């Protein structure tokens, strides 16, 4: 891993007229940007530079590695940071501004409404660098839900030049003429490497199966496991996936023979992000994983962990004995799980739209499953 000051000289020499920085500040953003980077590299008419940064730049760097797309630049934030978002944003903004001045990209591409995305958009706008916003226009009408992502999305929406929507918005929709539907690029990642998980996601798509994903590492979380067999008995459309240290040491043995339970010692990160996105609720004692869940569209329950409540929050911190009651509340509020249809071309559509913005093709909409640099 290298900080951006040391890595600039190791970046490949420019071979394209346009380059785009794909800037991620969380693992959920990496899950959406990694397939986009692959699409840019495969089509090879725009140079994509992946940037890992944010409060946990090392974790983002490792996520890029795990997703098979190493970060070209890892921008560490060495200065002391206040825990409040304002402190994080102030330090991040200065570092991002230095990066944009040094690399002088043709555009930046960010996903969602996280802290890194909104700070990147503001900094790029001040430097008159076009901003491409992936997952624009798909959140709620409530400014405080999700908090603060919805407010951040709205701010990015005032600064972006190109809006790439993950839902069904049409070209020229409410975001303006530069709103292009591309779909959720999470679906453009390779299928799960574990066939059990690949089949489970297919069942979610085909039959509306609801998945409760449980990741437990601490011995004091054993109380959660005791309630899982009863949950399976009471909810016939539920499947449970249990993973983590407790599963590895045999604590999940009551579930081993259950036809609607899967017990795994470990889950690779590419498989894990797909499982979280396909689940109706995540239960875990891992604060980092729980923090990733809302960005993947899934409410999460943090077992016996510290949590400062925020308006519209979808992360709940619950004592171990009360977890199953909370899970049932979430299940009652989300009775159906419907994943969008996918053709696997979401990332290619992102590349097509950006190429159109640069004048490299006549249409922002992908007309061929295999666009080439000469498709003008």
The pLDDT profile of the chain, 376 residues, written as one tens digit per residue, is 445 444 443 455 567 899 999 999 999 999 999 999 999 999 999 999 999 999 899 999 999 999 999 999 999 986 655 567 788 888 899 999 999 999 999 999 999 999 999 999 999 999 999 999 998 544 556 777 777 788 888 899 899 999 999 864 434 445 666 889 999 999 999 989 999 999 999 999 889 899 999 999 988 888 888 899 999 999 999 999 999 998 888 877 889 889 999 999 899 999 999 999 999 999 999 988 988 888 888 888 888 765 544 444 556 666 777 888 889 988 988 766 667 778 999 999 999 999 999 999 999 998 755 555 544 3
Q: Would residue 189 count as lying in a domain?
A: no
The answer to whether residues 212 and 144 belong to one domain is: no
Q: How far is CA 80 from CA 61, 117, 227, in A?
A: 20, 21, 42
Instruction: Give the pairing of strands 238-243 and 210-215.
Output: parallel
Residues spanned by the domain of 201 = 195-333
- Which CATH number covers residue 212? 3.40.50.2000
Same domain, 249 and 273: yes
In a domain, 111, yes or no: yes
pTM for the structure as a whole: 0.88
Q: Are residues 233 and 319 in the same domain?
A: yes
Three-state DSSP string of the chain: CCCHHHHHHHCCCCCCCCEEEEEECCHHHHHHHHHHHHHHHHHCCCEEEEEECCCCHHHHHHHHHHCCCCCCEECCCCCCCCCCHHHHHHHHHHHHHHHHHHHCCCEEEEECCCHHHHHHHHHHHHCCCCEEEECCCCCCCCCCCCCCHHHHHHHHHHHCCEEEECCCCCCCCCCCCCEEECCCHHHHCCCCCCHHHHHHHHHHHHHCCEEEEEECCCHHHHHHHHCHHHHHHHCCCEEEEEECHHHHCCCCHHHCCCCCEEEECCCCHHHHHHHHHHCCEEEECCHHHHHHHHHHCCCEEEECCCCCCCCCCCEEEECHHHHHHHHHHHHHHCCCCCCCCCCCCHHHHHHHHHHHHCCCCCCCCCCCCCCCCCCC
Instruction: Count structural domains, the chain.
Output: 2
Q: What are the structure tokens assigned to 257, written together? A: 């023979």
> Could you tell me if 36 and 60 lie in one domain?
yes
Q: Who's near 155: CB < 8 A, 6+ residues apart?
A: 118, 121, 122
In a domain, 175, yes or no: yes
Tell whether 213 and 134 lie within a shared domain.
no
Asked, for residue 370, whether it belongs to a domain, the answer is no
């Amino acid at each position: 891993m290298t900080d951006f000051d040391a890595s600039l000289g190791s970046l490949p020499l420019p071979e394209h007229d346009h380059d785009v920085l794909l800037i991620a500040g969380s693992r959920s953003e990496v899950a959406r940007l990694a397939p986009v980077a692959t699409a840019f590299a495969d089509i090879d008419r725009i140079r994509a530079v992946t940037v890992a940064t944010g409060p946990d730049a090392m974790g983002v760097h490792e996520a890029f590695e795990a997703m098979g797309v190493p970060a070209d630049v890892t921008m560490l934030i060495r200065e002391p940071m206040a825990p409040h978002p304002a402190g994080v944003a102030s330090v991040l903004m200065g570092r991002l501004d230095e990066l944009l001045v040094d690399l002088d990209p043709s555009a930046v591409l960010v996903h969602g409404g996280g802290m890194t995305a909104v700070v990147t958009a503001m900094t790029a706008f001040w430097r008159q660098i076009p901003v491409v916003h992936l997952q624009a226009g798909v959140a709620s009408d409530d400014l405080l839900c999700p908090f603060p992502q919805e407010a951040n999305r709205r701010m990015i929406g005032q600064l972006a030049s190109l809006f790439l929507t993950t839902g069904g918005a049409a070209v020229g929709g409410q975001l303006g003429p530069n709103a292009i539907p591309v779909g959720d690029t999470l679906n453009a990642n390779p299928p799960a490497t574990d066939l059990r998980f690949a089949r489970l996601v297919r069942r979610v798509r085909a039959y509306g199966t609801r998945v409760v994903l449980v990741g437990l590492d601490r011995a004091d979380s054993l109380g959660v496991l005791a309630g899982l067999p009863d949950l399976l008995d009471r909810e016939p459309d539920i499947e449970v996936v249990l993973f983590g240290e407790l599963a590895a040491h045999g604590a999940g043995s009551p579930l081993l023979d259950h036809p609607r339970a899967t017990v795994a010692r470990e889950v690779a990160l590419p498989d894990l992000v797909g499982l979280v996105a396909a689940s109706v609720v995540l239960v875990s004692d891992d604060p980092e994983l729980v923090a990733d869940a809302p960005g993947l569209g899934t409410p999460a329950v943090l077992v016996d962990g510290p949590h400062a409540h925020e308006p519209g929050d979808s992360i709940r911190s619950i004592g171990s004995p009360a977890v199953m009651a909370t899970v049932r509340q979430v299940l009652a509020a989300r009775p159906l799980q419907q994943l969008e249809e996918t053709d696997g071309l979401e990332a290619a559509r992102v590349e097509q739209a950006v190429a159109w913005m640069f004048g490299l093709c006549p249409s922002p909409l992908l007309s061929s499953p295999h666009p080439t640099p000469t498709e003008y």
